């Protein structure tokens, strides 16, 4: 096809239909509402099975139901919220299999992040992980805050890989990870002091620069956490705790 024919074909394409695009909505309120709900899930204020009532959320956030409806749509896409037939929206209740899949994904993402980070040889980025570790030490007396510092450490490793899409995968599951890390710190007898030592080891192997050793250290660290947390969920499922009745939504959502 000649250049002139190609230009003619481009000029002859029909104009876009007038109703192709939908009117824009105010996404800011929806995103803020999603952030508020996501935060309650991450902190354990909302737990799996809790019902999310649009009108109650809207009242607490002092907004209309439209942004709340859009926020729940976003959270469904993230896998944090599900719809029950003729019953409304609920916080997703993770199973032992979900936990295993989340941690297996983490292992794949983080070991690749370690590989990229060490291949880059970015000593400054590796040194920057010390800040997250120091925060973990400072928060050792508070399991919830220590869990947040734990998440920041691993997020920093992914970010330091230099691969923005890889880091985005980690961020995409940050709320689920925060929930699982808090459970590990607060309820599974995994002492915060041990968590700090574990992460000091991870930082040490990164500084040593041996790729095989570093990848193995991260993989073992995550697989041990996977098995510990998944066993807790499996026990809950066996005892029937996963089938508890939904709670009323807590009134802790600030506008």
- Are 54 and 136 in contact, with CB atoms under 8 Å apart? no
- Are 215 and 114 in contact, with CB atoms under 8 Å apart? yes
Distance CA 110, CA 229 (A): 18
Distance CA 233, CA 74 (A): 26
Long-range pairs for 66-73 at CB < 8 Å and ≥24 separation?
A: 66/25, 66/30, 67/26, 67/29, 67/30, 67/32, 67/33, 68/30, 68/33, 70/25, 70/27, 70/30, 70/33, 70/34, 71/30, 71/31, 71/33, 71/34, 71/36, 71/37, 72/34, 72/37
Q: What is the pLDDT of residues 148-169, one digit of tens each?
A: 889 999 999 999 999 999 999 9
pLDDT score recorded for residue 247 = 53
Distance CA 206, CA 121 (A): 10
Mean of the per-residue pLDDT values of the chain: 83
Domains of the chain, CATH where assigned:
27-93 (1.10.10.10), 96-241 (1.20.120.530)
According to DSSP, residue 79 is labeled: T
Digit-by-digit pLDDT tens for the chain (255 residues) are 555 555 555 555 555 555 555 554 555 889 999 989 988 888 888 888 899 999 999 999 999 999 999 999 999 988 889 998 778 899 998 899 999 999 999 999 999 999 999 999 888 888 889 988 998 889 878 878 888 889 999 999 999 999 999 999 999 998 888 888 887 777 666 666 788 899 999 999 999 999 999 999 999 999 999 999 999 889 888 776 544 444 555 555 555
Distance CA 59, CA 69 (A): 13
Q: What is the length of the chain?
A: 255
Coil, strand or helix at 57: helix
- Are 154 and 120 in contact, with CB atoms under 8 Å apart? no
According to DSSP, residue 139 is labeled: T
E strands, the chain, in order = 51-52, 81-84, 88-91
Distance CA 182, CA 103 (A): 14
Distance CA 178, CA 40 (A): 11
Distance CA 181, CA 197 (A): 16
Q: What is the pLDDT of residues 124-151, one digit of tens each?
A: 888 889 988 998 889 878 878 888 889 9
pTM of the model: 0.76
Distance CA 230, CA 188 (A): 11
């Amino acid at each position: 096809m000649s250049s002139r024919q190609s230009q003619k074909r481009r000029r002859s394409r029909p104009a876009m239909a007038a109703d192709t695009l939908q009117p824009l909505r105010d996404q800011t309120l929806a995103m803020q509402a999603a952030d508020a709900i996501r935060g309650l899930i991450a902190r354990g204020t909302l737990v799996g099975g809790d019902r999310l009532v649009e009108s109650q959320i809207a009242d607490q956030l002092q907004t209309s139901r439209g942004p709340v409806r859009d926020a729940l749509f976003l959270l469904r896409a993230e896998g944090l919220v599900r719809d029950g037939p003729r019953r409304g929206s609920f916080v997703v209740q993770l199973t032992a299999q979900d936990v295993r899949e989340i941690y297996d994904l983490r292992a794949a993402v983080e070991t690749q992040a370690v590989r990229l980070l060490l291949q880059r040889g970015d000593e400054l980025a590796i040194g920057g992980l010390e800040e997250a570790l120091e925060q973990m030490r400072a928060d050792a007396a508070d399991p919830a805050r220590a869990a947040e510092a734990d998440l920041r450490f691993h997020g920093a490793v992914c970010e330091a890989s230099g691969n923005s899409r890889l880091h985005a995968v980690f961020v995409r599951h940050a709320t689920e990870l925060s929930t699982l890390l808090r459970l590990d710190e607060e309820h599974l007898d995994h002492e915060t002091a041990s968590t700090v030592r574990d992460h000091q080891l991870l930082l040490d192997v990164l500084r040593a620069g041996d790729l095989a050793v570093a990848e193995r250290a991260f993989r073992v660290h995550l697989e041990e956490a996977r098995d510990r947390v998944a066993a807790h969920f499996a026990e809950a499922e066996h005892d029937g705790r996963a089938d508890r009745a939904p709670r009323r939504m807590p009134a802790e959502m600030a506008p």
